[in-house]
Amino acid sequence: MPFIWDAVVYLLAGILHWWWTANLSFFGVAPNLIFAAALTYAIMARPLRAITMCFFFGVYLDLLGSSLFGAYALIYTVMAYGVHLVKRNIDLVAPFAQIVAAMILTVATMACYQTLSLALAKINPLQLKAFLVEPFLNALAAPVMFSVLAQFRKRLDLL
Amino acid sequence: MNREKDIANYAAIFFAAVSLFFLLFPSVRLAQTARILLSYSLYPSLHYGADYEHFVRNVPGNIIAILRTDQENRVLRDRIKELEISAGAAESLREENRRLSAEMKLSGEVPFRGIWARVVNKNTQDWYGSVFINKGERDGIELNSTVIGFEDGRFGLAGRVYEVYPYFSKVLLITNGVSAVICSGPGGGFEGLAEGRGTWMMKVNYVPEGSDISEGMQLFTSPGGVLFPQGLPLGRVQKVHPKESFMNFISADVAPAVDLGSLREVYVVKRPLPSDIGER
């Protein structure tokens, strides 16, 4: 029943993200654990599953936000597809590769979200401090999330 | 492989299209319905999270508080250890002060000039044989000087100096197996030779038969001795042995006047000795 486990991981990641941002954010900045989970799925899972989960992780972030419903869903879907193309040539299982990928993709997703927001809603949601700090926090969170989900996969035959 | 690639392409296109649909037509009934349905995924974190927030809200603060308490606990534990050591040292000093005060008071009763010394070392292999004191030739200690010990408000002969070094000396205790002290009963009624046996007890030999020696009697250094000044308490008779049929004297076991196993400070008497016993 892999679908059940995916739903469990999805909900756990959502709860953890909510709890972290509610209680452990410093100066309004916290690692985006949903992004880390989406990136992990994109790296570890097969393409269909990775794209599907990334879409729903994006939807989750869209639901947490107040505008542009579907923006994160689109961005994370594209991100999953991009990772699917890239991981044929680059080993993204190594922690350092995940750190680099997380930094680059965080900046890319932020830039895409900013572009979509400006284009479709004419709002400027991106805060400078988040843009400067969050890539580094996500880079730290991504390998940790990867190793946690890798343990899940090893013990529960997930992903 | 190609099939999987195709599926990935179709999936990407499908979900991108759905996302774009949500983005571009947010007011359409289908998009709103989907949004409402999908919003149930927020239910666990927002609904139950809100219910149990009061449990988890303070978790980071509580963890930090626990860590701080732990650190504080460690510091306080170390502090308690230091204070226990200080308290032990203070108690030891208080006890020493009390003892020294008593000894200083007692020393006024010792009718000799001398200097105080502290016992600095005892050999466990020779516990009742000798001790080292922290005064030596530089302090005026001379060979064969009489050494007086103190215990619980009384004083008594402890031994004599038999090795002198510049900064410390070695004292031969009266319980040493090679030690012998001429002693007498109260009032000089009889004389005997108190010999050490290497234990806490001495033995007095050569007491003439018919002497009034008895258990509990206090013995003193005798005027007949040359090394020690007369009249110093030597010990108390513990047991009088009956005369052997082939000897014409009796003997007795004597406990030293002070416990030589727990000497801490001693008083070294300074008095001129005959020059011919200056050598050991």
Q: What is the ipTM of this complex?
A: 0.85
Domain A2-156, CATH class in plain words: mainly alpha
What average pLDDT score do residues B43-70 get? 75
Nearest to B45 among A14, A24, A71 (CB): A14
3-state helix, strand, coil in chain A (%, to 5): 80, 0, 20
Angstroms from B22 CA to nearest CA on chain A: 5
Q: Which of A135, A138, A144, A110 is nearest to A124 (CA)?
A: A110
Nearest to B59 among A23, A58, A60 (CB): A23
pTM (predicted TM-score): 0.51
Residues B4-14: b if buried by 16+ CB within 10 A, e if exposed: eeeebeebbee
Q: Which of B182, B130, B139 is nearest to B161 (CA)?
A: B130
Amino acid at B249: F
Name the pLDDT band for B8 (thresholds 50, 70, 90): confident
CB A48 to CB B7 under 8 A?
Answer: yes
Interface of B with A in 17-56 (CB under 8 A): 18-24, 26, 31, 35, 38-39, 41-42, 44-46, 49, 53, 56
CATH number of B114-273: 2.40.10.340
Q: Does B1 touch chain A if contact means CB atoms closer than 8 Å?
A: no
Most confident segment among A4-8, A72-76, B246-250: A72-76
For chain A, the structural domain boundaries read: 2-156
- Tens digit of each residue's pLDDT (9 = 90 or more) over B14-26: 999 999 998 888 8
CB A62 to CB B22 under 8 A?
Answer: yes
Angstroms from A143 CA to nearest CA on chain B: 22
Q: Does A56 touch chain B if contact means CB atoms closer than 8 Å?
A: yes
Name the pLDDT band for B49 (thresholds 50, 70, 90): low
Q: How many CB pairs under 8 A join A and B?
A: 95
Is the Cβ–Cβ distance between B169 and B203 less than 8 Å?
Answer: no
Task: Give me the pLDDT at residue A105, please.
Answer: 94
Angstroms from A153 CA to nearest CA on chain B: 21
Nearest to A52 among B15, B45, B56 (CB): B15
Name the pLDDT band for A111 (thresholds 50, 70, 90): very high
CB A59 to CB B11 under 8 A?
Answer: no
CB B19 to CB A14 under 8 A?
Answer: no
Angstroms from B44 CA to nearest CA on chain A: 7
pLDDT > 70? residue A158: no
- Tens digit of each residue's pLDDT (9 = 90 or more) over A10-61: 888 888 888 788 777 777 788 999 999 999 999 988 889 999 999 999 998 8
Task: Give me the pLDDT at residue A73, please.
Answer: 93
Q: Which chain A residue's Cα is nearest to B52?
A: A19
Helix axes B29-38, A47-64, angle to 10 degrees: 90
Angstroms from B73 CA to nearest CA on chain A: 26
Name the pLDDT band for B107 (thresholds 50, 70, 90): low
Task: Give me the pLDDT at residue B56, please.
Answer: 66
Cα–Cα distance list, A121 to A66, A118, B278 (Å): 11, 6, 115
